[in-house]
A and B are shown apart, each in its own frame.
Chain A
Amino acid sequence: MVKSVTSLSNSGLSNWMLQRISALILTAYLIFMVGYFAVNPSPSYEQWSSLHGSMAMRLFSLLAILSIAVHAWIGIWCVLTDYITVRLIGPKATAIRMFLQLAMIAVILFYVVWTIDILWGI
Chain B
Amino acid sequence: MANMRTMSFDAVIVGGGGSGMRAALQLAQSGYKTAVITKVFPTRSHTVSAQGGITCAIASDDPNDKWQWHMYDTIKGSDYIGDQEAIEYMCKTGPEAVFELEHMGLPFSRNENGRIYQRPFGGQSKDFGEGGQAARTCAAADRTGHALLHTLYQGNLKNETVFLNEWFAVDLVKNADNAVVGVIAINIETGETVYVKSKATVFATGGAGRIYASTTNAHICTGDGIGMAMRAGFPVQDMEMWQFHPTGIHGAGTLVTEGCRGEGGYLINKDGERFMERYAPNAKDLAGRDVVARSMVQEILAGRGCGENGDHVFLKLDHLGEETLNAKLPGILELSRTFAHADPVVEPIPVVPTCHYMMGGIPTNVDGQALTLDDQGNEQVVEGFYACGEAACVSVHGANRLGGNSLLDLVVFGRASGLFIEKQLREGVELKDATEDDIERAMQVLNRINSSQQGEKASVLRAELQTIMQNHFGVFRRGDFMKEGIEKLKALRPRIENVQLSDTSNAFNTARIEALELQNLLEVAEATAVAAEWRTESRGAHAREDFQERDDKNWLCHSIYLPESQTVAKRDVNFTPKTREAFEPKVRTY
Asked if A and B touch directly (CB within 8 angstroms), the answer is: no
B interface, CB within 8 angstroms of A: none
